A and B are shown apart, each in its own frame.
Chain A
Amino acid sequence: MAENILSVQDLHTSFTTDHGEVMAVNGVTFNLEEGKTLGIVGESGSGKSVTAYSIMQILEKNGSIRSGKVLFRGEDITKWPESKMRDFRGKKCSIIFQDPMTSLNPVFTIGWQLEEAIKLHTDRKGKAAEERAIEMLKLVGVNEPEKRIHQYPFEFSGGMRQRVMIAMALACEPDILIADEPTTALDVTIQAQILELMKDLQKKMGMAIIIVTHDLGVIAQMADEIIVMYGGRVCERGTAEDIFYRPAHEYTKGLLRSIPSVDKIGQRLVPISGTPINLLNLPKGCAFCPRCDAAMKICLEQVPPETRTVDGHLASCWMAVKKEAEAGMINFTGDSGRSLKADDTAGAGSGKD
Chain B
Amino acid sequence: MFKYIVKRILLAIATIFIVCLITFFTMNAIPGGPFSGEKAKSPEVQAALEKRFNLDKPVGEQFLLYMKNIAHGDFGVSAKTGREISATINSKFKVSAKMGILAVLLAVVEGVFFGSIAALQRNKWPDRVIIFVSTLFTSLPSFVLGSFLLVIFSVKLGWVQAWSPQHQSLILPVLSLAAYPAAYITRLTKTSMLDVLGQDYVRTARAKGVREGKVLFVHTLRNALIPVVTYVGPMIASVLTGSLVVEQIFTVGGLGNEFVQSITNRDYPMIMGVTIFLAVFMVTMNLITDIVYKLIDPRITLE
Interface residues in chain A, defined as those with a beta carbon under 8 Å from any beta carbon in chain B: 56, 58, 82, 86-91, 94-95, 97, 99, 102-109, 116-117, 120-121, 152, 154, 165, 168
Interface residues of B in 276-298 (CB under 8 A from A): 296-298
A105 CA to B220 CA, complexed, in Å: 9
A83 CA to B26 CA, complexed, in Å: 68
Which of B203, B208, B298 contacts A117 (CB under 8 A)?
A: B208
Report the minimal beta-carbon distance from B11 to chain A, rounded to whole angstroms.
26
The 10 closest A-B pairs by CB, nearest first: A90-B209, A89-B209, A102-B200, A105-B201, A90-B208, A86-B209, A152-B298, A103-B200, A117-B208, A95-B207
A87 CA to B208 CA, complexed, in Å: 9
Q: Does B187 contact A (CB under 8 A)?
A: no
Interface string of B182-213 (1 = CB under 8 A from A): 00000000000000000111011111111110
Interface residues in chain B, defined as those with a beta carbon under 8 Å from any beta carbon in chain A: 199-201, 203-212, 219, 222-223, 226, 296-299
* Cβ-defined contact, A58 with B297, below 8 A: no
Which of B210, B212, B223 contacts A116 (CB under 8 A)?
A: B210
A109 CA to B211 CA, complexed, in Å: 19
- Which residues on the A side are within 8 Å of B205 (C-beta)? 105
A120 CA to B214 CA, complexed, in Å: 12
Which of A88, A102, A103 contacts B209 (CB under 8 A)?
A: A88
Report the minimal beta-carbon distance from B293 to chain A, rounded to whole angstroms.
11
- Which residues on the A side are within 8 Å of B222 (C-beta)? 107-108
- Which residues on the B side are within 8 Å of A87 (C-beta)? 209
A94 CA to B203 CA, complexed, in Å: 12
- Which residues on the B side are within 8 Å of A94 (C-beta)? 207-208
Majority secondary structure of chain B interface residues (helix, strand, loop or mixed): helix
* Cβ-defined contact, B298 with A106, below 8 A: yes
Which of A56, A102, A108, A120 contacts B199 (CB under 8 A)?
A: A102
Ordered by A's residue number, 6 sampled pairs between the chains whose C-beta atoms are within 8 Å are A94-B207, A97-B203, A97-B204, A103-B200, A103-B204, A120-B209
Report the minimal beta-carbon distance from B77 to chain A, rounded to whole angstroms.
50
* Cβ-defined contact, A97 with B200, below 8 A: yes
Report the minimal beta-carbon distance from B131 to chain A, rounded to whole angstroms.
18
A279 CA to B296 CA, complexed, in Å: 42
Contacts between the two chains (Cβ within 8 Å), count: 67
Which of A89, A102, A107 contacts B206 (CB under 8 A)?
A: A89
Report the minimal beta-carbon distance from B286 to chain A, rounded to whole angstroms.
22
Report the minimal beta-carbon distance from B270 to chain A, rounded to whole angstroms.
45
A104 CA to B204 CA, complexed, in Å: 7
* Cβ-defined contact, B223 with A106, below 8 A: yes
* Cβ-defined contact, A116 with B203, below 8 A: no
* Cβ-defined contact, A107 with B208, below 8 A: no
- Which residues on the B side are within 8 Å of A56 (C-beta)? 207
A120 CA to B204 CA, complexed, in Å: 14
Report the minimal beta-carbon distance from A168 to chain B, rounded to whole angstroms.
7
Report the minimal beta-carbon distance from A249 to chain B, rounded to whole angstroms.
31
* Cβ-defined contact, A86 with B211, below 8 A: yes
- Which residues on the B side are within 8 Å of A152 (C-beta)? 298-299
* Cβ-defined contact, B207 with A58, below 8 A: yes
Which of A82, A89, A104, A154 contacts B207 (CB under 8 A)?
A: A89
Report the minimal beta-carbon distance from A133 to chain B, rounded to whole angstroms.
13
A97 CA to B204 CA, complexed, in Å: 8
- Which residues on the B side are within 8 Å of A165 (C-beta)? 204
Report the minimal beta-carbon distance from B294 to chain A, rounded to whole angstroms.
11
A56 CA to B206 CA, complexed, in Å: 9
Contact A89 B298, CB 8 Å, known A103-B200, A103-B201:
no
Report the minimal beta-carbon distance from B263 to chain A, rounded to whole angstroms.
45
- Which residues on the A side are within 8 Å of B200 (C-beta)? 97, 99, 102-103
- Which residues on the B side are within 8 Å of A120 (C-beta)? 208-210
Q: Which residue of B lies closest to A121 (CB)?
A: B209
* Cβ-defined contact, A107 with B207, below 8 A: no
- Which residues on the A side are within 8 Å of B297 (C-beta)? 106-107
A117 CA to B299 CA, complexed, in Å: 23
Counting chain B CB atoms within 10 Å of each CB, which of A91, A103, A165 scores highest?
Answer: A103
Report the minimal beta-carbon distance from A6 to chain B, rounded to whole angstroms.
16
